[in-house]
Chain A
Amino acid sequence: MSGTWMTTRAWLLMLPLLVVMVAVIGWPLVDTVNLSFTDAKLVGTGGNYVGFDNYTNMLSSSNFSRTLITTTLFAVISVAAEMVIGVLAALLLNQQFHGRAVLRALMILPWALPTVVNATLWRLIYNPEYGALNAALTQLHLIDAYRSWLGEPGTALAALIVADCWKNFPLVALIALAALQAVPRDITAASLVDGAGAFNRFRFVILPYLAGPLMVALVLRTIEAFKVFDIIWVMTRGGPANSTRTLSILVYQEAFSFQRAGSGASLALIVTLLVTVLAVAYAALVRKTAGSAA
């Protein structure tokens, strides 16, 4: 069979997917770009061409810079915590003890719990009047009076990060565990014979095996965290006083609450660009890590 026919046939089999992807992703993306140069409203006829006005207005607004900082804080802290706790959990699950299989099975629970259910659950836990956190901390005499964890700008973002970490660290743990189980036993044994301490053993013997998979988990989690919408919308809607408003929430408000489709589109593209830059930078890093680990 000739190579050209093989390739043509492959393209034919790809075609349905490509057509659908162009219809539901390609065309909307191009349209978002077009919209971003207009003052179009969400409903009604198309707006007028305004050049880069939406972009300059958005980039110079204090809303944007504040939201960017909030998003970065959320992404960096929650992903860092998820990686550290996830690796610690994986190191534990890589030990031998009774009940290990059960504990490993439990790890799938937070991951499987729908994001909205997780957000609702933590919203109930943080409830200012009847929440379990207030009840527990009061009964342990750690706080004197009930607090509104999601209602105070000082604690809302931290409360969200805890809820996000709880749901996502098990995934990091499972990925890290799979990588740990690929470390050959005789290598760790040899390092023991050579008298390596626990920390050095982790740093020089085990970590190289973890680096590749963890980098991939880091990339995926960071992109996800940067795009975060669901958990924040359900728990705080970006409040109080916009202290938990992330970029996706800001786009939602701009395009759908205020119906400014044009300016919402420009903001959405700025977010897309930021995520792309992150992803490209990370991809380079992953390649480097993979290269040095091999």
Chain B
Amino acid sequence: MERRSTTFTVFIYASALLLAAIILAPIAWLFIMSISPAADLAAKPLRWWPQTADFSRYQTLLSTAENSAGAAFTSSLRNSLEIAGMATLAALALAIPAGWAVSRTPAIGWSLSMVIATYMLPPVALAVPLYMGLSHVGLLNNVFGLALVYLTILAPFTTWLMKSGFDSIPREIEAAAMIDGAGLFQTLRIITLPLAAPVMATSALFAVLLAWDEFFYALLFTSDQRAKTLTVAIADLAGGRVSDYGLIATAGVLAALPPVLIGLVMQRALISGLTSGGVKG
């Protein structure tokens, strides 16, 4: 390793501290707001550190009492979980066979390229017909309807990830199993799919994150507690006449918790998933 001067070392540590502060300060402030008494948040000069930690807002939002702020929040939480779960399962069910087929039969690769090219489409280019279509079949303001629409985002992405995953499993392993007399589906079940399990897990996590994050379609296609997702509920809170900013911050913390935990725990897998596209170029 090259030797470094003291000045350079000091510079590195100062920059690292600055970067850490830039990343952490807004997130820390979101959490501090969520536990600060309302009076502290409205104080001038602003009180940066609460005198007493007040966790009551978490209780408020997670309570399921009828017609409370909690009822709206918990129902949107449940909707988000259901929609993300259904859309992810459906996307994987489509992506695994398609990803394998393209990986093993390059001749049909152009069809996947077309599917992936839809990534460029702005959602507004599909929104009006989707709205009319969902309304026509009675799936507006419905968790199934929204999960179906989310396939426009989830399916191309997961197929692309699965295809790259299958590409890294040598086809010689499959060929060997077949020579030993295994049929195609037996080979896939015993050999290929177990080897692809980590990629499937990564794809599923990405799909859940994408669905959890989605806002545009949810805003358009849902209108009340039956299907409103967490992102719409939070936008409602932020844009509404809520006088307690701490409550908005609390909703934000709760909505951010699952993806942030996934992000931290699955760091390595997520980063390699994110960068594989970049590095392969």
Interface residues of chain A, those whose CB is within 8 Å of chain B, are 6-7, 9-14, 16-18, 20-21, 24-25, 27-29, 31-32, 35, 42-43, 89, 92, 95-97, 99-100, 103, 105-117, 119-125, 127, 129-130, 132, 135, 138-139, 166, 170-171, 174-175, 178-179, 182, 189, 192, 212-217, 223, 226-227, 229-230, 233-234, 237, 247-248, 251-252, 255-256, 261, 264-265, 267-269, 271-272, 275-276, 279, 286, 290
Contacts and interface: CB of A to CB of B under 8 A. Distances in A.
B181 interface: no
By size class, the interface of chain B is: 35 or more
A97 B107 contact: no
B281 A117 contact: no
16 contacts: A13-B97, A14-B97, A18-B111, A28-B125, A42-B131, A96-B1, A109-B263, A112-B260, A114-B230, A116-B255, A121-B26, A122-B26, A130-B245, A175-B274, A230-B215, A255-B127
Given A17-B155, A120-B235, A111 B46 contact: no
Interface string B234-272: 110111000001001101100110011011100100110
Contacts of B12: 92, 95, 97
- Chain B CB count within 10 A is highest, among A117, A272, A279, for A117
A215 B277 CA distance: 11
B229 to A, nearest CB: 9
A29 B118 CA distance: 10
Contacts of B46: 130, 132, 135, 139
- Chain A CB count within 10 A is highest, among B104, B263, B277, for B263
Contact of B234 (A116, A127, A237): A116
A14 B151 contact: no
Contacts, number: 289
Interface stretch (B27-35, B58-66, B67-75, B195-203): B27-35
Contacts of A174: 271, 274-275
Contact of B129 (A32, A96, A271, A272): A32
A290 B20 contact: no
Contact of B125 (A20, A27, A29, A124): A29
Contacts of A25: 118, 121, 126, 152
- Chain B CB count within 10 A is highest, among A106, A112, A119, A247, for A112
B122 A268 contact: yes
5 nearest A-B residue pairs (beta carbon): A112-B263, A135-B46, A10-B105, A31-B129, A13-B101
Interface string B115-139: 1001111111111111111010000
Contact of A13 (B98, B115, B239): B98
Contacts of B230: 114
Contacts of A24: 126, 130, 148-149, 151-152
A132 B29 contact: yes
Contacts of B24: 106, 109
B76 to A, nearest CB: 12
Interface of B: prevailing SS: helix
B173 interface: no
B19 A92 contact: yes
Contacts of B128: 28, 31-32, 35, 42, 255, 261, 264-265, 268
Contact of A17 (B33, B98, B239): B98
B148 A108 contact: no
A103 B20 contact: yes
B170 interface: no
B207 to A, nearest CB: 14
Contacts of A114: 212-213, 230-231, 255-256, 259
Contacts of A95: 12
A220 to B, nearest CB: 8
A125 B29 CA distance: 9
B263 A111 contact: yes
B89 interface: no
Nearest to A139: B45
A211 to B, nearest CB: 9
B121 A124 contact: no
- Chain A CB count within 10 A is highest, among B2, B9, B215, B251, for B215
Nearest to B104: A10
A81 to B, nearest CB: 13
B22 A166 contact: yes
